[in-house]
Each structure stands twice: as C-alpha cells, then as structure tokens.
C-alpha cells in the first residue's frame, strides 16, 4: 500500500476570463513580507521592479491572524480582550503613521478597527462572526499596501475579496464557485478599470453571502484563485525563503534551493511538511496550467523556485526529502486475519468513524498483520476504535490485539526522476543503514514518485541528513574526533586544513572536526573546529573522558561519526569495540588494537558487524598499501605462506647506513636529531614495534598470533633497558661493540645486517638481526624505506614486494587520511 498526498480539491471547469480582465502577472505577499512599515515599502519597490499590469494578494501583517483568533476566542469566553485589541490597534496605526504622516491612511484604518471593536463587544458563536474577525487582518494590510503603492491616482484599485469571491464547504475544504465569482469580478472590474489591483487574501463569502475564510494557508489559495480569475500568466508567491528547499534547513543546513519542480513533486513535499505550497493552493494553478514562482522578499536577487507541469531534469532522481514528526504506528495482528475478506475495510471504517486520518498503510503478503500510521495525538482514539471493531475476534483469540507504537516519524523521498530509475530505493536504504537508522515500515506508490519510510523519532534527523547526502543533495557529513595530536596528529590536521575546502566544495564530503583530545584534556565543539587552529582550544579544554568524547562525536543530528586515534595508547584502543558497536567508524595508526590481546582483537572484529568501519592501514606501513595488498590477495583466494621484510623506517635507515665506517651509537644520535626515532630510541631498538606490525599482518592472514608468540631480539643491552632515557642516551656507546661484532661476522661472509620481521608457513614469528642472502630485496632499500615481501601460493617463487617510505609523520598522516577517505567513499561520498 502507498502513502500518498491527499487528493486535491476538484474545482469545476471554469470559463476563461474575458480579455478585459486579463493581467500579465499575479503576486502574493505573506505576513513576514508585511511585518512593518519598512517591509511594506520594500514590497512597493519589488512591484515597481516587476512592472505591471498585475494583481497583488496580501496576507495580514505577521502574527496578526493569530492575534485576531485569540481576540475572538477571548471575547467568546467573556475574557479580557481590550489590552490585546489596543496593542493590535496601536501597531496598525503606527505603521499607517509611518507610511502616511498626513494621517489619511490612519483614518481609513481607524474605521476598520472600530468595526473590529464593535464585533468583539457583541461576540457570536456563528462561524461567519468568527470569520469576520479573523479576516480583518487582510483588510487592514490591503489598505496599507494600497496606500504605499499610490492608490487610485497611481493606477491601483483595491479589491475586498468578499465582494467577489464565492466559496462553499466541500469534503476536502473550501471550493470555489467559479461561475458566480467570475460574474461578480466582471461587474467589479467594470467599476474599477485601473490596471493594477490589491486584493485581500484569506476571506470570501459563502453561497448564502455570509463572510467565510479559506482556512489556514488561505491567502496562498486566494492568490491562486485570483491569478486564474484574472487570467495571469504566472503567480509569484513572495515569502521569507529563497525558494523550495531540498529539505528543512533547520535540520539539514546544507539543503539546496530547487530551481524547478513539477506540481506533483510540490504536492508530495507539501503534504510531508516541507515549507512549500499547500496542495489546495496549487489546485487552481494545476488545472489552469499556471506556473508558480516562490521567491524571497528579502533576497529578490535569488531566482527562486518555479513550479509548473514539468520540472527541469536534475542530477539526482530525488528532488527533496521531508519529515513528518509525532506519528504513531497502529498494528492489528493475528492468524485469524489471513485470507479473511474485508479485514482492511473493517479497520479503516472504524478509523473513519473515530475521525482518525490515516497517513500510511502497510501490509505484508502473509496478511498476518496490517498496520497504519496515524498522528500521535489521535493514536489512542484509533486504538480504542479498532479494538472495539475487532472485540469479538480478539476475545476468540483469532486476533492477537491492537498495539500502538508512538514516537516515530515518516521520512519521504520525492522526485519525478525516481520514476523508472533503478536503484533509488537501494540508495535510500543504504544511506539509512550506513547511518544506523532502522526502517520500521515502507510504502511506495505505483507512480514511483515517493518512497516513504517509518523510523524511530530519535533517528529521524540523522536519517534525513543521511538520505539527503545519499542522493548527493548535500555533502556526505562525518563528525570527526581526533585523539593524539602528536607528530602524526599534527601532520593530519595540516593535511585536513589544506584539503578540506577541496572536498567540501567539489568533492561532496564534509569532514567536520568537532573534537580533539590529548592524553589529559579534550576540547568539544558544537559546530566545527578549524583544523589549522584546533590545538588552541586544548589548553582551556575539559579533563579527558573518552566516553563523553565518543558521545559528542556521535552526534544524533549528524549522519556519521568517525574517531581518528593517533595516540599510540593501549587504553584508547581498549575503547574500539564499544565505539564500533555504536556505529562510530575508527581510523588509526595505533598498533595496540591489532596486536593487543586476542580477546580484544576478536571483540573489535565482531563489533564491525554493527556497521562501524575499522581502517588501520597506517599501523604497518605508514602510507604504504601493505594491508590493502595482502587483503587483495587473501580475498581473491590466495594463501599466505611467508612474510619477511623491514617493518621499521628507523631501523631501515640505521642498517642501510651501518657499514662500520661510523659507530652505531653515532648513527642512532643522528637518526634522533633527524626525527626518525621515537623520543626514546629504545622504543625503536627494542623490536617491540616491529613485532606488533608482524602480529597485525599475521592476524590479517588468519593466524591467531599473540605478542608473546613472537621471538624478539632487542638491540638494547639488558643493562640499559630499565634505566632512564637520559641515562640510556648517555650510555649509548655500549651498543657499539656487540653490534660491530655482528657486522664484522656478516661482512666476513660478504653480507650486511638488516633488522627483519619473519613469519613462516608454520606460523613461527621472529624479529631481529639477520644477514640476508645476496639479492634479498631488503639490501636494496633506500634509507627509511619499509619493505615487505609476501610469499603466497601465487607468489611462491617470486615474492610480492611492497616498498616505500615507512617513517615520518607526513607519510603516516597521509596513510591515515587515505583510510578516512576510503570510509567516506564507502558511505557514499563522491571524491
């Protein structure tokens, strides 16, 4: 079953207006465009620029219709209304005084306001009394604008719609008596030959000549009616937005203004709460083929949105998305429903009797359940009505009962381009799945112009933003948190600052840095941090709380969350499973996750099944595609047999240089000065870092290897392993003799030394000094190059080699950035 917009009012076929009545254009100005004297003057300027002849339909000044309704209700309830009336009177007279200091306009308004005062003194429960009070706002506005435009001397007539427009109440709202209205307009026009006309919106008379209103959005409806009656070529509705937007800008800040829409698209979006015309407003325009333009009085340079029979082709099949909040799912279930004719009829008849409107209907082919969507405030009445209708079947156990699930919302994707286009639903569902938004129910009509899904209210905004990005209507947005602004973290911030404009402007990607943390403090930003200055806020930040940090990054109003961990901390890595399980993507060069306890490693892998992406390419080869290369072989059916290579850029540099011409300690000092080593060189010389990388590769290949399984040769003598960093550096010369002896032994065989990581076919793992055979690839590495040889079933004789710079914050940060972009692409970003 389908969720569709309500049927449009069926107006009778109307005669074309006589040539003497036809005008070139029609305009309508809403209350926000007529809020004060300055806005009235602005409207006069806009109309002068537009040229004539034309008709102008006006609403009441901003907030006045609500004020009049409150006055009427207060008068009927015999409550105090005089102070509010006086405020309304003063506002109009002050506006009139500003527009016409001579006071003539004020006298005219005073007469209308005296009429309002008299009406409030003699309240009546009759609908026409209420309509008379409510409609006076438009009457007052029409006098004000008529005067600003110069009135009759400037060629402007003022038409009180109650003198012309005749309507009657129908099932779907007020409908126009076109023949009587056309005849009355012809008589009025004969007495008012001015080229231009200011008309009151919202008000009319019924078939018995009593004052009536057209209901909420009645001024827009009036504008369409009079545009047709006068034979205008187009209708421009002036409001306070640049046009119809692809989504609510309060929920999707990147919503775009649509250049054009079809009537059908506009009707669908309007029904789902988008700030666009009410379907009833478009009914006269649709039947007359009258184009409607939506434009902004405060930004007249914007072209606005044109609504016509057909819209211009668009890059995306979906033109816009909208949400309906505060809904409830009503479900009737039971085995007794299967194959029983008339079940749906009984259900909807009960809802009709309870005057409950059904927004959406779904039923599986099994017929075991039937559910519909109703407004939240009507949910209880709906439940009671349906329970009574099926009371006997429930008592007999044939029907399980009626349940109501509140706090849901409807997300609708609308567009003419969806018709006949493959994969639209798939793209919508994929976008929602990536944002971890569960779909409760689905409906699509045979027209294919609308797909509607029911989601939990708490997921609605995130789902809307994810869907908006999935159809490339806005950049794919990732809420990003960075932990560990050390050398690599700072380099990453620099790369992000440099490249962010490129991706946000042309790449469809918004990497929104919203949090940063070091080992002690964190800075959480509500909107976005400038990567170039992100570190400045840490000094005045809050105490680090990793749980709060993750909760902030996982903002409910943003579709995707990503934490980049450049810390090298085992404590931070321990949080990965819960982050991934919560749908937070993780990118890291931190080796503790991949080489830490097997239990935790398995938990991380299991957590990725919940939708969180885990990328860690930089843990092994900095910016080199080591893991990617290995995965490509394994995923295509190859089998890893051996790994060996240089997995430390620091140790690569040291042993590429160590030929006996310089003491090893001198090379270590030089490497430290160049920034190749960790602050404490023992972190490199111990072999622990290399062992971690080997464990990561082994686990990638399916070997359940742990750090304690790796034979590690440390280059740090036992006597120097526990002393302070300063003492170690002072006694660095103690490394020279044993390493010189190892080198001399290797050179005696015509070989050199290299620090290699090795994994054999039996799963034995070792890292340490070796003297490779001549021709080994590690002997031909350049300075800080990492070099990894993979021997597999396919690459048995001639190993697959990955080689390149393996040290330095810039290349490591580039590897991290590459993982971030890979996740963004997986989420649908176009790069």
Q: 671: which 2 tokens?
A: 């490497």
249 DSSP 8-state letter: T
Q: What band does 343 get if pLDDT is binned at 50, 70 and 90?
A: confident
Q: According to the model, what pLDDT value does residue 315 have?
A: 73
Q: Looking at the predicted structure, is the pLDDT value of residue 30 above 90?
A: yes
The pLDDT of 503-513, averaged and rounded, is: 82
Residue of 727, 670, 478, 660 lying closest to 583 (CA atoms): 478
Q: According to the model, what pLDDT value does residue 7 have?
A: 35
User: pLDDT > 90: what percent of the chain?
Assistant: 68
Q: What band does 272 get if pLDDT is binned at 50, 70 and 90?
A: low
Q: According to the model, what pLDDT value does residue 446 have?
A: 67
Q: According to the model, what pLDDT value does residue 188 have?
A: 96
Q: What band does 610 get if pLDDT is binned at 50, 70 and 90?
A: confident
Contacts with 528 (C-beta within 8 Å, 6 or more apart), sequence order:
512, 513, 514
Q: Looking at the predicted structure, is the pLDDT value of residue 275 above 80?
A: no
User: Prior bond to 49 cis, omega within 30?
Assistant: no
Please identify every residue annotated as catalytic.
Answer: 693
Q: Looking at the predicted structure, is the pLDDT value of residue 142 above 50?
A: yes
Stated pTM of the model: 0.72
Residue of 142, 69, 74, 67 lying closest to 109 (CA atoms): 142
Residue 61 in 3-state DSSP? coil
Please tell me the distance from the alpha carbon of residue 89 to that of residue 101, in angstroms, as a whole number.
17
Is residue 89 packed enough to be buried (19+ CB in 10 Å), middle (13-18) or exposed (0-12)? middle
Which of these ranges, 146-160, 234-248, 437-451, 471-485, has the smallest mean pLDDT?
A: 437-451
Contacts with 324 (C-beta within 8 Å, 6 or more apart), sequence order:
272, 273, 359, 409, 410, 412
Q: 643: which 2 tokens?
A: 């790994």
Please tell me the distance from the alpha carbon of residue 613 to that of residue 605, in angstroms, as a whole number.
10
Q: Looking at the predicted structure, is the pLDDT value of residue 730 above 80?
A: yes
Residue of 571, 574, 561 lying closest to 613 (CA atoms): 561
Please tell me the distance from the alpha carbon of residue 459 to that of residue 465, in angstroms, as a whole number.
10
User: pLDDT > 70: what percent of the chain?
Assistant: 95
Q: What band does 13 get if pLDDT is binned at 50, 70 and 90?
A: very low
Q: Looking at the predicted structure, is the pLDDT value of residue 229 above 80?
A: yes
Q: Which residues pair with 712 in a beta bridge?
A: 767
Please tell me the distance from the alpha carbon of residue 589 to that of residue 564, in angstroms, as a whole number.
9
Average pLDDT, the chain: 90
Q: What band does 783 get if pLDDT is binned at 50, 70 and 90?
A: confident
Which of these ranges, 464-478, 582-596, 812-826, has the smallest mean pLDDT?
A: 464-478
Q: What band does 31 get if pLDDT is binned at 50, 70 and 90?
A: very high
Please tell me the distance from the alpha carbon of residue 662 to that of residue 737, in angstroms, as a whole number.
12
Beta strands per DSSP E along 623-753: 640-646, 710-712
Q: According to the model, what pLDDT value does residue 506 have?
A: 63
Please tell me the distance from the alpha carbon of residue 109 to that of residue 103, in angstroms, as a whole number.
10
The DSSP-derived string for 414-473 is E-GGGTT-TTHHHHHHHHHHHTT--EEEEEE-TT-SEEEEEEEGGGHHHHHHHHHHHTTS
Q: Looking at the predicted structure, is the pLDDT value of residue 76 above 90?
A: yes
Q: Looking at the predicted structure, is the pLDDT value of residue 647 above 90?
A: yes
Q: Looking at the predicted structure, is the pLDDT value of residue 562 above 90?
A: yes
Q: Which residues pair with 444 in a beta bridge?
A: 451
Task: Report CA 345 to chain centroid distance, whole Å.
Answer: 38
Backbone angles phi, psi at 510, to 5 degrees: -115, 100
Q: What is the H or E stretch that residue 627 is in?
A: helix 626-635
Q: Looking at the predicted structure, is the pLDDT value of residue 15 above 60?
A: no
Which of these ranges, 149-158, 327-336, 509-518, 733-742, has the smallest mean pLDDT?
A: 327-336
Residue of 628, 675, 623 lying closest to 805 (CA atoms): 623
Is residue 190 packed enough to be buried (19+ CB in 10 Å), middle (13-18) or exposed (0-12)? exposed
Q: How many CB atoms lie within 10 A of CB 520?
A: 9
Q: Looking at the predicted structure, is the pLDDT value of residue 240 above 90?
A: no
Task: Report CA 443 to chain centroid distance, whole Å.
Answer: 21
Measured over the CA atoms of residue 92, residue 94, residue 100 and residue 106, the dihedral's sign is positive
Q: What band does 47 get if pLDDT is binned at 50, 70 and 90?
A: very high
Q: Looking at the predicted structure, is the pLDDT value of residue 262 above 70?
A: yes
The pLDDT of 317-321, averaged and rounded, is: 89
Residue 260 near residue 213 (C-beta atoms within 8 A): no
**CA 82 vs CA 63, 67, 89: distances in Å:** 17, 12, 10
Please tell me the distance from the alpha carbon of residue 254 to that of residue 269, in angstroms, as a whole number.
18
Please tell me the distance from the alpha carbon of residue 148 to that of residue 96, in angstroms, as a whole number.
10
Residue 228 near residue 14 (C-beta atoms within 8 A): yes
Count, residues in the chain: 831
Q: What band does 422 get if pLDDT is binned at 50, 70 and 90?
A: confident
Q: According to the model, what pLDDT value does residue 545 have?
A: 96
**CA 253 vs CA 241, 301, 433, 824: distances in Å:** 13, 21, 21, 19
Residue 599 near residue 573 (C-beta atoms within 8 A): no
Q: What band does 419 get if pLDDT is binned at 50, 70 and 90?
A: confident
Per residue in 475-494, pLDDT (tens digit) is 888 999 999 999 999 999 99
């Amino acid at each position: 079953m389908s969720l569709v917009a309500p049927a449009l009012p069926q107006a009778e076929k109307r005669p074309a207006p006589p040539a003497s009545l036809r005008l070139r254009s029609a305009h309508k100005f809403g209350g926000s465009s007529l809020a004060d004297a300055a806005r009235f003057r602005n409207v006069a300027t806009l109309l002068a620029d537009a040229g004539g002849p034309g008709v102008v339909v006006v609403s009441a000044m901003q907030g006045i219709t609500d004020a009049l309704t409150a006055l009427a209700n207060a008068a009927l309830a015999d409550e105090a209304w005089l102070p509010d009336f006086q405020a309304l009177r003063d506002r109009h007279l002050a506006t009139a005084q500003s527009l016409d200091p001579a006071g003539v306009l004020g006298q005219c308004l005073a007469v209308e306001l005296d009429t309002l005062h008299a009406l409030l003194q003699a309240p009546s429960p009759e609908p026409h009394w209420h309509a008379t009070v409510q409609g006076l706002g438009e009457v007052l506005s029409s006098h004000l604008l008529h005067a600003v435009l110069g009135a009759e001397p400037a060629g402007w007539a003022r038409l009180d719609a109650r003198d012309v427009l005749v309507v009657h109440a129908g099932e779907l709202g007020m409908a126009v008596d076109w023949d009587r209205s056309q005849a009355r307009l012809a008589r009025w026009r004969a007495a008012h030959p001015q080229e231009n006309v200011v008309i009151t919106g919202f008000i009319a008379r019924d078939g018995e000549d009593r004052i009536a209103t057209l209901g909420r959005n009645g001024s827009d409806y009036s504008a369409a009616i009079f545009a047709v009656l006068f034979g205008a070529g187009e209708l421009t509705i002036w409001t306070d937005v640049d046009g119809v937007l692809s989504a609510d800008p309060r929920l999707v800040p990147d919503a775009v203004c649509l250049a054009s829409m079809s009537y059908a698209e506009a009707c669908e979006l309007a029904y789902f709460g988008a700030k666009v015309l009410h379907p009833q407003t478009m009914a006269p325009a649709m039947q007359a083929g009258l184009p409607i333009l939506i434009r902004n009085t405060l930004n007249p340079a914007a072209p606005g949105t044109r609504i016509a029979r057909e819209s211009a082709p668009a890059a995306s099949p979906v033109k816009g998305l909208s949400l309906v909040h505060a809904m409830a799912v009503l479900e009737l279930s039971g085995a007794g429903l299967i194959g029983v004719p008339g079940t749906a009829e009984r259900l909807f008849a009960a809802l009709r009797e309870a005057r409950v409107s059904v927004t959406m209907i779904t039923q599986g082919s099994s017929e075991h359940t039937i559910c519909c969507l109703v407004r939240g405030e009507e949910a209880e009445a709906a439940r009671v009505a349906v329970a009574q209708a099926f009371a006997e079947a429930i008592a007999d156990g044939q029907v399980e009962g009626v349940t109501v699930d509140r706090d849901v919302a409807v997300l609708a994707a609308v567009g003419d381009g969806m018709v006949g286009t493959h994969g639209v639903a798939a793209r919508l569902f994929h976008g929602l799945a990536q944002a971890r938004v569960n779909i409760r129910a689905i409906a699509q009509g045979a027209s294919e112009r609308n797909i509607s899904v029911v989601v939990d209210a708490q997921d609605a905004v995130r789902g809307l933003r994810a869907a908006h990005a999935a159809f490339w209507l806005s950049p794919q947005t990732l809420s990003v948190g960075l932990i560990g602004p050390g050398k690599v973290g700072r380099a990453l911030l620099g790369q992000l600052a440099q490249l962010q404009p490129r991706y946000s402007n042309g790449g469809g990607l918004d990497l929104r840095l919203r949090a940063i943390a070091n080992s002690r403090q964190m800075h959480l930003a509500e909107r976005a941090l400038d990567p170039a200055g992100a570190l400045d806020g840490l000094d005045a930040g809050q105490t680090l709380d990793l749980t709060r940090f993750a909760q902030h990054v996982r903002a409910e109003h943003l579709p995707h969350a990503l934490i980049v961990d450049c810390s090298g901390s085992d404590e931070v890595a321990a949080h990965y499973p819960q982050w991934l399980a919560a749908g937070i993507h993780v990118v890291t060069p931190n080796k503790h996750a991949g080489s830490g306890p097997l239990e935790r490693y398995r938990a991380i892998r299991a957590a990725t099944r919940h939708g969180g992406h885990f990328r860690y390419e930089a843990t092994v080869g900095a910016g080199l595609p080591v893991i990617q290369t290995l995965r490509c072989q394994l995923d295509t059916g190859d089998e890893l047999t051996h790994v060996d290579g240089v997995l430390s850029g620091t140790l690569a540099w040291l042993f590429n240089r160590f030929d006996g011409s310089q003491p090893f300690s001198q090379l270590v000092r030089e490497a430290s000065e160049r920034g190749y080593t960790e602050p404490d060189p023992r972190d490199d010389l111990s072999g622990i870092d290399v062992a971690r990388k080997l464990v990561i590769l082994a686990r990638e290949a399916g070997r359940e290897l742990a750090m304690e399984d790796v034979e590690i040769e440390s280059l740090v003598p036992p006597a120097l392993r526990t002393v302070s960093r300063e003492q170690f550096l002072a006694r660095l010369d103690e490394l020279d003799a044993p390493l010189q002896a190892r080198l001399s032994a290797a050179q005696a065989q015509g070989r050199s030394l290299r620090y290699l990581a090795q994994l054999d076919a039996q799963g034995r793992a070792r890292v340490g000094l070796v003297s490779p055979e001549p021709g080994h690839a590690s002997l031909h590495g350049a300075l800080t190059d990492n070099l990894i040889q993979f021997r597999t079933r396919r690459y048995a004789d001639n190993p697959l080699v990955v080689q390149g710079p393996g040290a330095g914050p810039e290349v490591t940060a580039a590897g991290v950035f590459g993982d971030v972009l890979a996740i963004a692409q997986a989420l649908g970003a176009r790069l």
